[in-house]
Amino acid sequence: MSVLLVFMWVESSNEYNGFDWVIFIGTGLWFFWSIVLLSFLGILAAYTSLLLVLGFLLLWEGIELYLHWCHKILILLVIVICSFFFWILFTYWKDRWLTIGLSLQVFAPYIHLSSIAMMVILSWPLAFYLIHLEGEARIRRFQMTCNESKRNKRCNVLTKLRALQVAIGLPFFLILLCLYLLPLGNFSPCVQEKDKLAPKPDFFGHRGAPMLGPENTIMSFEKAVEHGAYGLESDVHISYDHVPFLMHDSDLRRTTNIKEVLPNASLTHPSLFDWDFLSTLNAGKWFSHAPIKPFFGMKPLSEADRERAGNQKIPKLTELLELAQKEKKFVIFDLNSPAPSHSLRALYVHHVVSIILDSQIEQRLIFWLPDFEREYVKKKAPGFQQVGRLFSVERLTKENITRINIDYKNLFYNGMREYRAANISINLYLVNEPWLFSLAWCSRIPSVTTDNIQVLNEMTQPSYFLTPKYYLFVWILMDILSAVFIVAIFYFHWWNESKKEKLLKSTSIHIESLSTRLGTGNSKTQEPSCIYIDPVPRVTEIPWTQAALSPALTKNLRKYPDSSRVSVVPVKKACKSEPVSKTIKTPVPGKDDIRQQVPTLKASESTQAPIWVSAREALFPSSSAMKANGTFSFVDVSHPQKQTERPPKTKPSEESLPVFTTSSPSSSS
């Protein structure tokens, strides 16, 4: 939830100034509230992402998760905050989702290629886990015995392992397949041939150039003209003594020094002031000398521009018309109705039209935007170019309107193709971000209204623009490389797991062979059971060291220090119990055997034949030793510094005679 909110707000960067203005209307304090919100959402996303990564790593290491109570409270707060913001989005800001849709149209090719690269990175842990599950399944299948109950249990485990592999691997490969085929159904206006690219859209300076001069001042409009504005956009109020002037807000707090001059009247509607008073207010110091600029990231002003901006006044509408007539620029404006107590409340449209006609400006330079009393305006000033809103094509055709001024988010609906097919010119407002201007350019939009004219005017081609052939080449190349990398990753993990599996099988085969050779019988209906005995004690006195007795056994004990597990192999039922000592025969040493004889501890047994004790003989008995009829017994050599306590010897059972063979824990498992 937090990551989705961050993504949504980052893509809504075009609306940051408008958001700050809305907060100012409610609080009276101008600040970069949009950046504060972005930072706050970023902290939430970073915190939750960090917890998620840490939890994943703990699970990877097999550590049980334990979340501290303070983190539980913070996560609960994150859920509540994110739910609150989503409620606002779905209730009051539904059009913000259209902005995300527009951004996906621009960034779709790049998101597609980045997603494939991300899938390659994710394939490493996924392949490791899937191959590990496969190895586990093979080991369990290899260890299956004839015991039906054990077999059924292991079959159930194998089924669960296969189901887990499918549940994890199948979505991954389905998503990867969709990404491979995504360009077949992907539509991005910025993927087209260069010769089919429309001309660069024209610019209407929104309140002039508000990043270069105070909005709705002559300096701002002149800056817009310097940067190639096609037209000038403004907002018109009418003073109490019937003078139209330029002002956007419904009060004078933000863009004038009314709080210094007349604090008690700072919230009064602008139409209730006489022009004589309005003309004395400063309309530039809030822009040039304020510690917080109106736009985040705005470039600092030069000393000359700073001084000029600090001396700006509220301009009349006639001053803007004179500049437009001089520079041959179009003028479009929103006409705000006066306060209810104003004397021109019912006739302010007539009055403004007469003022425009008296200014001697060419009528074709006026884009008339207000909807009310349009028929009167058509009769009084037939040369005005009528500009509509987002009306239906039938209504626009009926009213003979050939140009519309709409919010940029409406571009999401099929790129306004229906209007373009009807030869209706479209002007989008408010377009400040280069990616959004690039989308309008690729969508063949004739003009846009912008605050950021100095940046957009320098663009020579749309950002994120791709030709179909180049995108096709990158797409196929990325698919091939990613497929090769993913196959190589899976093969590497399979090869690594196969080595471990072969080692385990070879060890198991040696132990099974040893049990078969040493056992006097084998029951097919019984499985080897496991018991634990004390590890073989080591003798420190030379030459009775463990290394001297068997170098191979010493290496195995170093590798498996806890290898104290033995198997009890059941043998056939003995007809007559015989003493174990009588079954012991002296093994004949091989020709190449290098071993030490271990003397018995009792003096009375010194005359008996020497007993050869060797782990090598136990693991790999010679052919002569295997001819012995009976079983082997071990002679324990007690450690000189530690005498372990042995359990009392019991009489062997008549059912089976245990034969002890050493094995490592990995083999026993």
Tens of pLDDT, residues 135-188: 777 777 766 654 554 555 556 777 887 888 888 889 999 999 999 988 887 778
* DSSP, res 653: P
Inter-CA distances, 57 with 68, 73, 133, 433, 490, Å: 17, 22, 19, 39, 21
Q: Does residue 557 have a cis bond before it (omega within 30 degrees)?
A: no
Within 8 A by CB and 6+ apart from 102, the residues are 408, 409, 411, 412, 436, 439
Give the separation between CA 363 and CA 322, rounded to whole angstroms: 13
- β-pairing verdict for 447-450 and 330-335: unpaired
CB-based burial, 32-67: b 16+ in 10 Å, e otherwise: bbbeebbeebbebbeebeeeeeeeeeeeeeeeeeee
Amino acid 489: pLDDT: 93
Q: What are phi and psi of 407, to 5 degrees?
A: -70, 140
Give the separation between CA 386 and CA 378, rounded to whole angstroms: 8
The predicted model gives 368-389 an average pLDDT of 93
Return the amino acid letter for 73.
I
Amino acid 155: pLDDT: 67
Q: Residue written as tokens 């527009």?
A: 102
Amino acid 420: pLDDT: 87
Q: Which tops the pLDDT comparison, 406 or 150?
A: 406
Can you give the length of the chain in residues? 669
The predicted model gives 441-454 an average pLDDT of 95
Residue 132 pLDDT class (50, 70, 90 cuts):
confident
Three-class SS state of 447: strand
Which range of 160-164, 568-572, 591-595 scores highest in mean pLDDT? It is: 160-164
Amino acid 182: pLDDT: 84
Residue 625 pLDDT class (50, 70, 90 cuts):
very low
CB 168 within 8 A of CB 131: no
Amino acid 524: pLDDT: 45
pLDDT at 655 over 60: no
CB 352 within 8 A of CB 236: yes
The predicted model gives 66-75 an average pLDDT of 92
pLDDT at 653 over 50: no
pLDDT at 541 over 80: no
Inter-CA distances, 271 with 266, 352, 406, 430, 543, Å: 13, 14, 27, 26, 113
Give the alpha-carbon dihedral of 500, 506, 512, 517, to 10 degrees.
-160
Amino acid 219: pLDDT: 97
Q: What are phi and psi of 178, to 5 degrees?
A: -65, -40
Return the amino acid letter for 99.
T
Q: Residue 161, CB half-sphere, CA atoms under 13 Å: how many? A: 19
pLDDT > 90 in the chain, percent: 53
Amino acid 253: pLDDT: 94
Amino acid 142: pLDDT: 66
Amino acid 183: pLDDT: 84
Strand 529-532: give its sheet, edge to edge.
529-532, 565-568, 660-663
- β-pairing verdict for 403-407 and 425-429: parallel
Return the amino acid letter for 607.
T
Q: Give the ranges where 12-95 is alpha helix by DSSP (H).
A: 16-27, 33-60, 69-91
* DSSP, res 536: P
pLDDT at 605 over 50: no
Residue 638 pLDDT class (50, 70, 90 cuts):
very low
The predicted model gives 557-566 an average pLDDT of 43
Residue 56 pLDDT class (50, 70, 90 cuts):
confident
Inter-CA distances, 273 with 239, 278, 434, Å: 6, 7, 40
Which residues are 574's β-sheet partners?
none
Q: Does residue 294 have a cis bond before it (omega within 30 degrees)?
A: no
CB 281 within 8 A of CB 314: yes
- β-pairing verdict for 244-246 and 202-206: unpaired
- CA angle 79/82/87 to nearest 5° reads 120
Inter-CA distances, 531 with 536, 567, 636, Å: 15, 7, 18
DSSP string, 332-401: EEEEPPPPTT-TTTTTHHHHHHHHHHHTT--GGGEEE---TTHHHHHHH-TTSEEEE-S--HHHHHHTT-
- β-pairing verdict for 565-568 and 529-532: antiparallel
pLDDT at 107 over 80: yes
The predicted model gives 336-346 an average pLDDT of 93
pLDDT > 70 in the chain, percent: 73
pTM: 0.72
User: Token pair of 488, please?
Assistant: 């190589």
Amino acid 66: pLDDT: 87
pLDDT at 405 over 90: yes
Q: Residue 631, CB half-sphere, CA atoms under 13 Å: how many? A: 24
Over the stretch 222-234, which tens digit does the pLDDT of each residue have? 999 999 999 999 9
Write the burial class of residue 324 (CB in 10 Å: 0-12 exposed, 13-18 middle, 19+ buried): buried
Distance of CA 569 to the CA centre of its chain: 56
pLDDT at 565 over 60: no
238, 240, 221: which is closest to 352 by C-alpha?
Answer: 238
Amino acid 582: pLDDT: 41
pLDDT at 636 over 50: no
Give the separation between CA 537 and CA 311, rounded to whole angstroms: 99
Q: What are phi and psi of 641, to 5 degrees?
A: -100, -10
pLDDT at 60 over 50: yes
pLDDT at 85 over 70: yes
Average confidence score pLDDT of the chain = 79
Residue 252 pLDDT class (50, 70, 90 cuts):
very high
Amino acid 152: pLDDT: 59
Return the amino acid letter for 589.
P
Give the separation between CA 161 and CA 591, rounded to whole angstroms: 50
Over the stretch 466-525, which tens digit does the pLDDT of each residue have? 999 999 999 999 999 999 999 999 999 888 888 877 777 677 666 666 666 665 444 444
Q: Residue 295, CB half-sphere, CA atoms under 13 Å: how many? A: 19
